[in-house]
Amino acid sequence: MISADDLKKRLGNNEKIFLLDARELSSYFKGHIKGACSLFDGNIVPMAQKVDKEATIVVYGPGQAQPSKNPMDRLAGDAISRLKKMGFSKVYELKGGFEAWANAGNPVEAASPESIKPADFTAFGYAVK
């Protein structure tokens, strides 16, 4: 786990962190952490197979105060499990999810379906094999 404050500090120090939004696309479009890629980008898994396993990845979901029964709200944990099985060791879940990030007054950005680009790990300073 990583807190919103710790993530903000690390991003402010220009650490190479790949942000993965594990919420529904409609939520991603309304607002997400700047630079985050949507879990629903079909290029993430194939690209992740080629990326340095030392990459730091932070995954976040909605972060409700009450646990949700909606399976879509458990995607962050599922994504973390899959990435760890793929050999990534530096995979963290954002404590409190997007809700904690936004409620702390941290910057968010919106997107439209037309603005979505394929996930690009090289944008985070990681070499793709």
Residue 121 covered by a domain: no
CATH of the domain at 24: 3.40.250.10
Confidence (pLDDT) at 65: 47
56-to-28, 80, 109, 115 alpha-carbon distances in Å:
21, 12, 21, 25
Q: Is residue 123 part of a domain?
A: no
109 — phi, psi (to 5°)?
-135, 150
The helix (H) or strand (E) run that includes residue 79 is helix 75-85
Residue 129 belongs to a domain = no
Domain of residue 27, residue span: 4-112
Q: Specify if 122 maps to a domain.
A: no
Q: What is the pLDDT of residues 2-60, one digit of tens each?
A: 999 999 999 999 998 989 898 888 888 899 999 898 877 666 677 677 778 888 999 99
Q: Using CA atoms, how far apart are residues 121 and 100, in angstroms rounded to an integer? A: 25
The answer to the question of residue 78 being in a domain is yes
Query: Is there a domain that residue 31 lies in?
Result: yes
Residue 117, domain member (yes or no): no
Q: What is the pLDDT of residue 50?
A: 76
pLDDT tier at 66, thresholds 50, 70, 90: very low
Residue at 43 is within a domain? yes
Report the phi/psi class of residue 49: left, alpha or beta, with left for phi > 0 and alpha for psi in -120 to 50: alpha
- Number of structural domains in the chain: 1
Quote the CA–CA distance of 98 and 32 in Å, as a whole number. 7
